[in-house]
């Protein structure tokens, strides 16, 4: 495995070639780092599952360079999905659409739908474009972490987590800290109205504004075998507890106006909801690096991105409150 820091155009072309040759390339996006493979290469996508230790029946998102590539993967795309794509792509939004025959079971986890996203990050976009120049059709990429753990927002986090599981021809592209810090909004567009399956930076209000349709927020665990929808996901090794009651030696994460409880170790003091999203996963990882056994987290209030943060914290803590 090799790391390219602030990759040059030439290195991005090498990475596209590595994908085409069936290798894995971890790359930055504006949300979190992804672990990419050629979405048309079953063997290459299989390597993602092995590196992540992820069950085979979990679908992966296919990353494309623009909405023009949607027809390569999806059929019967509703008009509201087209409008969402024009409004928010490139951006932190994944659309779930009815799959075509190219979107095989090893991409969709056997479901009749496929997840597609145009990431808004220079390296990621350049990589999807270079890959398409080599006749690539899309890059399958889940978050670049081991199954169940916290998504990486830096290349160092990817390296620490996956080093042992990547091959000598695999690559990591390093472009620093991810701008947003929580995973994309996932919007099911296979129904009459859009349904948010995973909240993110593209909020319910933003979806309603563009589609003029009622939007529901729902995580149906019975129907969707989506890892992000399982409890106890997005979790560090330390026990995450929601609340203020941190004691001596516990980690503590809260907005900056909330004082640090006596004896606890402050892991992040974000000044805004945006900063909270950007710092959260790094702060949880730092808690593990310090060997803490418990991290107390005070959730942000309000709507928008705060909903996404609370969603991830609910999963990281499995709902444990003090």
List contacts with Mg ion (CB under 5 A): 143
Q: At 252, which helix (H) or strand (E)?
A: strand 251-253
> 143 or 264: whose CB is closer to ligand TXA?
143
Out of 32, 140, 202, 240, the residue judged to bind ligand TXA by CB under 6 A = 32
Give 90 or 251: the residue with its C-beta nearer to ligand TXA: 90
Binding partner at 40 among Mg ion, ligand TXA, none, C-beta below 5 to 8 Å by kind: none
Q: In this complex, which beta carbon is closest to ligand TXA, that of residue 250 or of residue 279? A: 279
The dihedral built from the CA positions of residue 20, 26, 14 and 85, taken in this order, carries a sign that is positive
Residue 242 CB, shortest distance to Mg ion, in Å, is 21
Q: In angstroms, rounded to a whole number, what is the distance separating the alpha carbons of residues 190 and 126?
A: 29
Measure Cα distances from 65 to 21, 62, 76, 136 in Å.
19, 10, 20, 11
Residue with tokens 């056994």: 293
- Cα 202 from Cα 208, distance rounded (Å): 10
Answer for the pair 261, 246: CB distance below 8 angstroms, yes or no: yes
Q: Closest approach of Cβ 269 to ligand TXA, in Å?
A: 25
Q: Give least dist CB 244 to Mg ion, A.
A: 28
Tokens of 194: 């859009």
- Both tokens of 204, joined, read 């319910």
Radius of gyration of the chain (CA): 19
Number of residues forming the site for ligand TXA (CB under 6 A): 29
Binding residue for ligand TXA (CB under 6 A) from 7, 26, 29, 166? 29
The option from Mg ion, ligand TXA, none interacting with 61 (CB < 5 to 8 A, set by class) reads ligand TXA
**In this structure, what are the phi and psi dihedrals at residue 309, rounded to the nearest 5 degrees?**
-65, -45
Q: Which helix (H) or strand (E) holds 130?
A: helix 122-133
Please identify, using beta-carbon distances, which residue of 143 and 190 lies nearer to Mg ion. 143
Under the criterion CB under 6 A, does residue 227 sit at the interface with ligand TXA? yes
- In this chain, which of 96, 123, 308, 314 binds ligand TXA, going by CB under 6 A? 96
Our finding on whether 65 is near ligand TXA (CB under 6 A) is: no
User: Which of Mg ion, ligand TXA, none sits in contact with 238, Cβ below 5 to 8 A by type?
Assistant: none
Q: How many CB atoms lie within 10 A of CB 273?
A: 19
Q: Report 247-286 residues binding ligand TXA (CB under 6 A).
A: none
Cis peptide before 90 (omega within 30 of 0): yes
The answer to whether 140 and 37 have CB atoms below 8 angstroms apart is yes
From the list 1-9, 24-32, 160-168, 262-270, the region that binds ligand TXA by CB under 6 A is 24-32
Q: Does 90 bind ligand TXA (CB under 6 A)?
A: no
* Half-sphere exposure of residue 278: CA atoms within 13 angstroms, side-chain side: 13
**Closer to ligand TXA at the Cβ: 26 or 265?**
26
Q: How far apart are CA 247 and CA 41, in angstroms?
A: 50
Chain residues binding ligand TXA by CB under 6 A are 29, 31-32, 34, 58-61, 94, 96, 108, 111, 113-115, 117, 119, 141-143, 183-184, 186, 197, 224, 226-229
């Amino acid at each position: 495995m090799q790391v390219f820091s602030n990759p040059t155009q030439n290195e991005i072309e090498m990475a596209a070639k590595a994908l085409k040759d069936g290798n894995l390339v971890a790359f930055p996006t504006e949300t979190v780092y992804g672990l990419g493979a050629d979405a048309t290469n079953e063997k290459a996508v299989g390597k993602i599952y092995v590196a992540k230790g992820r069950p085979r029946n979990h679908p992966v998102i296919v990353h494309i360079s623009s909405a023009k590539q949607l027809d390569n993967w999806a059929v019967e795309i509703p008009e509201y999905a087209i409008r969402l794509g024009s409004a928010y792509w490139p951006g932190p939004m994944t659309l779930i659409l009815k799959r075509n025959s190219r979107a095989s079971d090893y991409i969709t986890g056997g479901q009749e739908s496929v997840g597609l996203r145009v990431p808004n990050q220079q390296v990621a976009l350049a990589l999807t474009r270079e890959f398409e120049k080599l006749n690539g059709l899309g890059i399958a990429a889940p978050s670049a972490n081991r199954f169940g753990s916290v998504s990486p927002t830096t290349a160092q986090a990817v390296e620490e987590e996956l080093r042992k599981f990547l091959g000598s021809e695999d690559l990591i592209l390093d472009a620093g800290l991810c701008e947003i810090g929580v995973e994309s909004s996932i919007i099911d567009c296979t129904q009459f109205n859009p349904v948010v399956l995973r909240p993110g930076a593209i909020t319910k209000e933003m979806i309603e504004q563009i589609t003029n349709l009622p939007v529901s927020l729902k995580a149906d665990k019975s129907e969707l075998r989506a890892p992000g929808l399982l409890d106890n996901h997005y979790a560090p090794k330390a026990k995450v507890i929601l609340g203020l009651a941190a004691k001596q030696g516990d980690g503590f994460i809260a907005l900056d106006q909330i004082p640090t409880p006596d004896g606890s170790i402050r892991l992040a003091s974000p000044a805004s909801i945006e900063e909270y999203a950007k710092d959260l996963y790094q702060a949880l990882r730092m808690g593990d690096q310090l060997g803490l056994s418990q991290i107390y987290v005070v959730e942000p209030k309000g709507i928008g991105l705060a909903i996404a943060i609370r969603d991830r914290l609910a999963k990281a803590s499995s709902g444990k409150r003090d």
